[in-house]
Amino acid sequence: MCNLNRTTDLQFVKTFQYVLHIPTFILGVIINSVALYILCIRLKKWMESTIYMTNLIICDIFLLFSLPFKIHADNGYGKWHLGTTFCKFVESMYFVNTYGTILLIMLISVDRYIAIKHPFRARTLRSPKKAIIACTVVWVCIWSASIPIYSQSECQQQSKEICFVGFSEFWKKGIISLSMEIVYLISAFTVAFCSIQIIRSWQRVDEERDDISIKASVNIISSNLVTFLLCFTPYHVAMLLYLLARQEYITADYRTPLRAFLQMSQCLATTNCCLHGMYYYSIIKDFWESKIKSPEETISTHSS
């Protein structure tokens, strides 16, 4: 009966992964490709916001690149025939870029907070150069975090041709997983604080002006905050609970269902790649408005 339940759970998790991963990959590629085209080819305005968002798109594309290989591994319950080195590369793309996304969203939130709440300080705290430096630091940190994946024992990898499974060393020590929890908690608190402060500021302005565009901006910030928390919080709750089960702080009977919860919450976290359209909405909207206004400005210039 236990084996039957375990087989049923595995099949359910596998189906759940298909249901989320395939649409996430298709929609994510379309949304991020269009956004990258507009920001880099049509817009060509390298301000702080566009620099952060371009890096966020690239990070999402890296993560989306790994999804077909994740689906391939899940389909064979971890069996892998594409080489150990490539497995490590794809694993790092999948796991590491998740935190690249989290950190870049945090930077975008901080950048908005400074620009709106501290407009006078923003002249010294914000600049395209500083945005590039901040993004570079994020990339160095997240790719440095992938070193443990590449430093795994070659004998251990060759003795079992598997991928996206068998992270016993990761759970045994628990240092990396706890570090990931701390990074998320700091990021989540920062994003929530900045978003709430921005929303409050705009709501006060909206009470005075009753501006439709301000209401739309408030809705976008609110949606971004809810999306961020809904996508990443279950994953980190599941990670913490599964770590406690592996460390035997939680009875071993819960290890299998917690592992299923962890795998499903990982899938939920990847859906964030195709939900960033709300981040790009304001930039694209400003772009099209500027395109519409430019002919009028040209006419006025000639007439004067």
- Would you say residue 250 lies in a domain? yes
What is the rounded distance in angstroms from the CA atom of residue 122 to the CA atom of residue 104? 19
CA distance 115 to 123: 9
Question: What is the pLDDT confidence band of residue 154, given thresholds at 50, 70 and 90?
Answer: very low
In a domain, 236, yes or no: yes
Q: Which residues have C-beta within 8 Å of that of residue 166, sequence separation ≥ 6? A: 78, 160
* 291 in a structural domain: no
* CB-based burial label for 151 (10 Å; 0-12, 13-18, 19+): exposed
Whether 11 is in a domain gets the answer no
First-residue to last-residue Cα distance in the chain: 85
Work out the average pLDDT over 122-146.
90
User: For the whole model, what pTM was predicted?
Assistant: 0.85
Q: Which of 256, 252, 209 is nearest to 13 (CA)?
A: 256
In a domain, 203, yes or no: yes
Structural domains in the chain (count): 1
pLDDT tens digits, 209-224: 655 666 777 777 888 8
Distance CA 101, CA 225 (A): 14
Mean pLDDT of 165-184: 80
pLDDT(36) > 80:
yes
Confidence of residue 129 (pLDDT cuts 50, 70, 90): very high
Q: How much is the pLDDT for 7?
A: 58
Q: Which DSSP symbol is given to 79?
A: B
Query: Which tens digit of pLDDT belongs to each residue from 62-93?
Result: 999 999 998 888 877 667 888 888 888 888 88
CATH number assigned to the domain comprising residue 279: 1.20.1070.10
Average pLDDT over residues 120-130: 89
Q: Please indicate, yes or no, if residue 122 is contained in any of the structural domains.
A: yes
pLDDT digits (tens, 9 = 90+) for 225-244: 999 999 999 999 999 999 99
Strand partners, 79: 162
Q: Please say whether the beta carbons of 150 and 78 come within 8 A.
A: no
- Nearest 5°: CA angle at 245, between 94 and 261? 50
304 in any annotated domain:
no
More confident residue, 6 or 111: 111
Size of the chain, expressed as the number of residues it contains: 304
Residue 299 lies in a domain: no
Give the mean model confidence (pLDDT) for residues 44-64: 88
pLDDT surpasses 50 at 164? yes
- Higher pLDDT pick, 128 / 303: 128
Confidence band (pLDDT; 50, 70, 90) for 135?
A: very high
Provide the residue range defining the domain that includes 50: 16-286
The predicted pLDDT at position 208 comes to 61
Residues near 267 by beta carbon (within 8 Å), at least 6 away in sequence: 16, 17, 20, 21, 24
Cα–Cα distance, 223 to 232 (Å, whole number): 14
